[in-house]
Amino acid sequence: MTFTEKDEALVKESWDIMKQNIPEYSLRFFSIILEIAPAAKNMFSFLRDSEEVLQNNPKLKAHAVKVFKMTCESAIQLREKGEVVVGETTLKYLGAIHLKNGVIDPHFEVVKQALLRTIEEASGDKWSEELKCAWSVAYDHLAAAIKAEMKEEV
């Protein structure tokens, strides 16, 4: 499947909406992750020790922003190059950090569902099957690159 200019524009447009309210959408993103997989709470250093998902927690925001932003970047690359190219060091780092924190393949599906639901809520009546598909494809490519690196680390 080719990733078109329109797909890229759709992803960028919705990321622009979300960027305007990072605290709210980061919190939503993590709340949905925990709704789908409550046990994931223990994986994140910033969630482990707290009773609830903390509003305005900088680390929580950082992970949410990175997942969204990197997915957005991979959308741009998919359109420009037809594949996702993450810097060698970055990819190695991503593989290592997730392996170290006990992340396994099915977790990527949970994060994907949370990502899509957050975007659905954020984009309101701009939400469409096409938008969902564009984010899914971009995320799947990025997740595959990280997962491949995690396997190499073992």
**Residue 15 binds to ligand HEM (criterion: CB under 6 A):** no
Of the candidates 105, 126, 103, 122, which has an alpha carbon nearest to the alpha carbon of residue 114?
A: 122
Burial class (CB in 10 A: 0-12, 13-18, 19+), 42: exposed
For residues 18 to 47, the per-residue mask of contacts with ligand HEM, x marking binding by CB under 6 A and - elsewhere, is: ----------------------x--xxxx-
Half-sphere exposure of 152 (CA within 13 A, CB side): 13
Considering only 4, 55, 56, 101, the residue that binds ligand HEM (CB under 6 A) is 101
Distance CA 17, CA 30 (A): 18
**Residue 86 binds to ligand HEM (criterion: CB under 6 A):** no
Residue in this structure with the two tokens 């789908």, named with its chain if needed:
36
Among the residue ranges 14-22, 91-99, 117-125, 127-135, the one whose residues contact ligand HEM (CB under 6 A): 91-99
Q: How far is the CB of 125 from ligand HEM (least distance, A)?
A: 27
Distance CA 36, CA 72 (A): 23
Where along the sequence are the contacts to ligand HEM (CB under 6 A)?
40, 43-46, 59, 62-63, 66-67, 70, 94, 97-98, 101, 103, 107-108, 111, 142-143, 146
